[in-house]
Structure 1
Amino acid sequence: MTANIRIAPRWALIALGVLVLQAAILWWMGRVPICTCGTVKLWHGVVNSSENSQHISDWYSFSHIIHGFIFYALLRFLFPRMPLGPRLVLALGIEASWEILENTDMIINRYRAATISLDHFGDSILNSVSDALMMALGFFMAARLPVWSVIALAVIFEIGTAYMIRDNLALNIVMLLWPLDAIREWQSNL
């Protein structure tokens, strides 16, 4: 069964406010608005480059869509009677919080020490806000599509990005929490 994906205007404004707050905090933290290369690309597919995580979308956008799948399922389970608007705002709050934490020196240095992302210096504000919007896309997809298709898409995204860039959401989590030399070696042979 699919949900009605209409959001009351007040919740849409609050969701927009979350994105604006996220961008403001990232600006205050010293994050660059766009890629220091001076361009804005719709897609940047080269993972091992200084432009990764600087443009509108990249290979990691698929992970953020999966975040939306997960947050929709989790919030629907925890708050089954809550309307979609407040659940979206909660999901955006979680995603924005992660985006802010992910762009702290602590997490950036962790990525550089534990993964193959040696040239990772954090996200541009554009990329970070776009990541939150990708999560919202996944959230709405999960609200609208049958469960089996959302699961199939998540599996396709995970297998596809593992094949293309030797990284995905699951590998990213493992390498941040429990770095494994075998995975690091496999990823570095791309």
Structure 2
Amino acid sequence: MFTRRLAPYWATFFIILLAAAWLLWIGREPICKCGHIKLWYGQTMTSENSQHIADWYTPSHIIHGILFYAGLWLVARRISFGWRLAIATLVEAAWELVENSDAIIERYRSVTISLDYYGDSVLNSVADILAMVLGFMLASRLPVWASVLLVLGFEALTTWLIRDGLILNVLMLVWPLEAVRVWQAG
């Protein structure tokens, strides 16, 4: 049943659905070419990275949700929670579309250590959007200090374990530094 109260949640659902349809339309693989669907794939330097449901980049999408919640609370708190979630989902979906464009894929491959990166599978992109939704929901229920600790903890964990994270990913995409690239390569 479509009610006014549920409209933003239906909008969120359709944004995710349209993002998946667009990614399929532009030729992204629906699932990993390996033919398997894994809940977790923990290796970063392989062609299966960003092809399964969750990976070491999932925490960065949870962070997106926390940051989107904070930003929208600051500038649009009079808008209902549901519509703020829909806006955040639209921004995250737009990022997934841009991230999986040929230009950005080539940028990652040319300026980062992601030489085997050929874009996300549609499954992984949808899971990334859902991870953002999870982060948004967590931020709406956790105290601010817990959200801050979660962001710092995820960044520290991924930086320590895979030498990457949201901050390093953005840095290397926007302003690549050779010293960081060498460090990330181990």
Please indicate, yes or no, whether the TM-score normalized by the shorter chain is above 0.5: yes
Matches within 5 A, 1:119-130: 119-130=116-127
Q: CA RMSD in A?
A: 1.0
Aligned equivalents of 1:121, 1:88: Cα separation in 2? 29
Residue of structure 1 in register with 2:41 after alignment: 44
Residue of structure 2 in register with 1:4 after alignment: none
**Residue from 31, 35, 60 that aligns with 1:34:** 31
**Residue from 53, 57, 72 that aligns with 2:54:** 57
Aligned equivalents of 2:135, 2:67: Cα separation in 1? 9
Aligned equivalents of 1:96, 1:80: Cα separation in 2? 21
Ranges in structure 2 where 5+ consecutive residues have no aligned partner: none
Residue of structure 2 in register with 1:158 after alignment: 155
How far apart are residue 8 of structure 1 and its match? 3.6
Aligned equivalents of 1:52, 1:9: Cα separation in 2? 35
Aligned equivalents of 1:102, 1:177: Cα separation in 2? 13
Aligned equivalents of 2:89, 2:107: Cα separation in 1? 24
How far apart are residue 31 of structure 1 and its match? 0.4
Amino-acid identity (%): 52
Whether 1:181 and 2:178 are equivalent positions in the alignment is: yes
How far apart are residue 9 of structure 1 and its match? 2.1
Aligned equivalents of 1:121, 1:129: Cα separation in 2? 16
Aligned equivalents of 1:182, 1:83: Cα separation in 2? 44
Amino acid at match of 2:6: P
Ranges in structure 1 where 5+ consecutive residues have no aligned partner: 1-6
SS at match of 2:42: coil
- The alignment covers a number of residue pairs equal to 183
Residues 4-39 of structure 1, C-alpha deviations (whole Å, 9 max, x = no match): xxx942221111100000001001110010000000
SS at match of 1:58: coil
Aligned equivalents of 2:75, 2:156: Cα separation in 1? 29
Residue of structure 1 in register with 2:83 after alignment: 86
Residue of structure 2 in register with 1:135 after alignment: 132
**Residue from 113, 117, 120 that aligns with 2:114:** 117
Aligned equivalents of 1:125, 1:95: Cα separation in 2? 14
Whether 1:98 and 2:95 are equivalent positions in the alignment is: yes
Residues 101-144 of structure 1, C-alpha deviations (whole Å, 9 max, x = no match): 00001000000011000000000000001000000000000000
Aligned equivalents of 2:103, 2:96: Cα separation in 1? 13
TM-score, normalised to structure 1's length?
0.95
Residues 20-79 of structure 1, C-alpha deviations (whole Å, 9 max, x = no match): 000010011100100000000000000001100000000000000000011001111111
TM-score, normalised to structure 2's length?
0.97
Aligned equivalents of 2:87, 2:78: Cα separation in 1? 14
